Structure 1
Amino acid sequence: MKRTQGGMTLIGFVIVLAVVGVFIYMGMKVIPMYSEYYAVKQALQGLAGEPGIASQSPAKIQDLFFRRLYISYAETVKPEHVKIKRKDAGYVMTVKYEVRKPLIANLDVVGKFETEKELRRGGAID
């Protein structure tokens, strides 16, 4: 009765380790982008819950929005990415921006994010 040894060779282990390392590295680049997008959505949600937000001027609304982003350490969104339009008894606030992070050599990870929130006197509507 002959017994053969089973298992992974050192080369196989190094290859698996390299693949896992690449995915972890990619996650380290992508997860902060989505974390920032979540902070933008939370800032919009909080802004929509502010009492009397629809009676504020667009400049004041934008200032309040960026104050909320500052607390969340979201630095990618700039004033040119924010649009505030009048709609019925309130406003529609749209945030549209792009994040580009270098990945490996000449490869970049690009994330395009867009979210919109309606700011009304009677409460927020998605």
Structure 2
Amino acid sequence: MKRKQGGMTLTSFLGVLAVAGFALYIGMKLFPMYQEFYAVKTSMKALAREPGNADPARALEMFYRRMDMNYSDSIKRDSIRFDRIDGGVRMSVNYEVRRPLVGNLDIVGRFENAQDLTSRGE
């Protein structure tokens, strides 16, 4: 009685390896973008807890200090907007990150976050 072997051929193994490698490559391009966005959100929340942060100029300076500590360079000054609300200001960050992928193809991430800043720091 003959037993039939099961498993993958070399060609199918190389195909699976290529797909997994491409997925890993895209993940390596996406991870820093989302890590930077997490740093933006964390910095904005920490800024909201500080007293006296309702002055847009001071808030902007403090925000950029935090971004420098996180080695973030995607957020430009025109990406940040301040709007007056009751008791303070609302800080909105809206930016886009573009990373090269392969040849003339890019990965584009569009991120936005808003945080209320009050003079009480709550």
TM-score of the alignment, normalized to the shorter chain, above 0.5: yes
Report deviation, 1:52: 2.0
Deviations 1:45-69 (A, max 9, x none): 0100102212xx3111100000011
- SS of residue in 1 equivalent to 2:60: helix
RMSD: 1.1
From 100, 112, 115, the equivalent of 1:102 is 100
SS of match in other structure, 2:83: strand
| TM-score (ref. length: structure 2) | 0.95
Note if 1:120 corresponds to 2:118: yes
2:87 counterpart residue number: 89
For residues 1-126 of structure 1, what are the structure 2 equivalents within 5 Å? 1-54=1-54, 57-124=55-122
Return the alpha-carbon distance in structure 2 between the equivalents of residues 43 and 97 of structure 1.
Answer: 15
**Amino-acid identity (%):** 49
Normalised TM-score (structure 1): 0.92
Question: Is contact 2:53–2:121 with CA below 8 Å preserved after alignment?
Answer: no
Cα displacement string for residues 68-103 of structure 1 (whole angstroms, at most 9, x for unaligned residues): 111111110011111112212101000000011111
Gap runs ≥5 in structure 1: none
Please give the secondary structure, in 2, of the residue aligned with 1:53: coil
If asked which structure has higher relative contact order (CA below 8 Å, sep 6+), I would say 2
Indicate if the aligned counterparts of 2:91 and 2:115 stay in contact, CA closer than 8 A: yes
Contiguous gaps of at least 5 residues in structure 2: none
How many angstroms does 1:120 deviate by?
Answer: 1.3
